């Protein structure tokens, strides 16, 4: 039993003992003093004693309970479990920002364009605020890639961000589109047919799509992503991408 609970239990017990003594000790003392010693002031003495004796006894019980509770230590196994749980749940352990990828429809979304016959799949990741505090001006950027992407006809000037800044409440996640691929190119362009489109944000002047050649399962592309925010430790993740039979696959490694 923890020290605080142990002490509270003994305080309650001493209170019950005090009540019993206060109610029964007075009558017994009056009768005993009058019969045995013929003391006329027996009622006065008994009245005082019925308060003093329980008070002293209760104080002794509380002191003893406090000393025992202070020296109590939890078993080592329980202490270790509690310590592990505190560390695992603490929002101060590492960065509160997490980059996630899953297998459900939130992370892989498809689109069919009837006019052109294009069927495309877009890969998303989620940026999670794994803390109880709000984090402002979050973002995610591409800081490295293999193979090196191109923007238009030129090598991409890394890092590049994927969207405007966003805020995350405690426990909230934001889904960010990272790449897309025309699994059925239909009547689309050769650029989209022969490349993976990296959905990096562009400024007012559009220099062209950011792309990488279609990667195979034996030679996948690796995109290094970084989630960041002011005064917050950044969090990185490596997204592996490859295509088999014109089906794009992704996984965080």
Which residue segment(s) compose the domain that 176 sits in?
97-252
Give the residue with greater pLDDT, 226 vs 75.
226
Are 52 and 145 part of one and the same domain? no
* Inter-residue long-range contacts of 196-200, CB under 8 Å, 24+ positions, other chains counted: 196/221, 196/241, 196/243, 196/248, 198/142, 198/145, 198/149, 198/156, 198/223, 199/122, 199/162, 200/142, 200/151, 200/156, 200/160, 200/161, 200/162
- Which pLDDT score, from 0 to 100, does residue 185 have? 94
Query: By C-alpha distance, which of 127, 123, 131, 136 is closest to 99?
Result: 127
| Alpha-carbon dihedral sign for residues 32, 34, 38, 39 | positive
Please check whether residue 84 lies inside any domain of the structure. Answer: no
Task: Examine the domain organization and report whether 119 and 57 are in the same domain.
Answer: no
Q: Give the number of domains in the chain.
A: 2
Q: Where residue 103 falls among pLDDT bands split at 50, 70, 90?
A: confident
> Would you state the pLDDT for residue 84?
38
**pLDDT at residue 69, rounded to an integer:** 60
Q: Are residues 113 and 213 in the same domain?
A: yes
Residue 162 in any domain: the answer is yes
Widest CA span in the chain = 120
Q: What is the pTM of this model?
A: 0.63
Query: What value does the mean pLDDT take over residues 13-42?
Result: 61
Query: 164 and 53: one domain?
Result: no
Do 63 and 119 reside in the same domain of the chain? no
Determine, yes or no, domain membership for 80. no
Q: Does residue 51 sit in the same domain as residue 116? A: no
In a domain, 175, yes or no: yes
Q: Is the pLDDT of residue 217 over 90?
A: yes
pLDDT confidence of residue 91: 39
pLDDT band at 162 (very low <50, low <70, confident <90, very high): very high
Query: Does residue 220 surpass a pLDDT of 70?
Result: yes
């Amino acid at each position: 039993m923890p020290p605080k609970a142990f002490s509270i239990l003994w305080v309650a017990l001493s209170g019950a003992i005090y009540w019993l003594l206060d109610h029964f000790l007075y009558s017994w003392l009056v009768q005993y003093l009058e019969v045995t010693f013929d003391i006329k002031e027996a009622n006065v003495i008994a009245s005082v004693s019925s308060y003093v004796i329980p008070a002293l006894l209760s104080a002794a019980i509380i002191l003893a309970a406090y000393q025992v509770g202070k020296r109590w230590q939890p078993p080592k196994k329980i202490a270790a479990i509690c310590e592990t749980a505190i560390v695992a749940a603490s929002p101060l352990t590492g960065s509160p920002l997490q980059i996630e990828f899953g297998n459900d429809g939130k992370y892989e979304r498809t689109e069919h364009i009837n006019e052109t016959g294009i069927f495309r799949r877009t890969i998303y990741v989620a940026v999670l605020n794994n803390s109880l505090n709000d984090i402002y001006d979050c973002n995610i950027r591409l800081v490295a890639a293999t193979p090196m992407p191109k923007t238009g006809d030129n090598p991409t000037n890394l890092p590049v961000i994927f969207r405007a800044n966003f805020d995350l409440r405690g426990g909230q996640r934001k889904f960010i589109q990272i790449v897309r691929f025309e699994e059925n190119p239909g009547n689309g362009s050769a650029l989209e047919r022969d490349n993976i489109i990296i959905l990096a944000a562009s400024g007012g002047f559009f220099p062209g799509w950011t792309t990488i050649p279609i990667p195979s399962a034996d030679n996948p592309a690796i995109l290094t992503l970084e989630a960041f925010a002011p005064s917050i430790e950044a969090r990185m993740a490596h997204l592996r991408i490859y295509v088999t039979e014109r089906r794009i696959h992704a996984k965080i490694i």
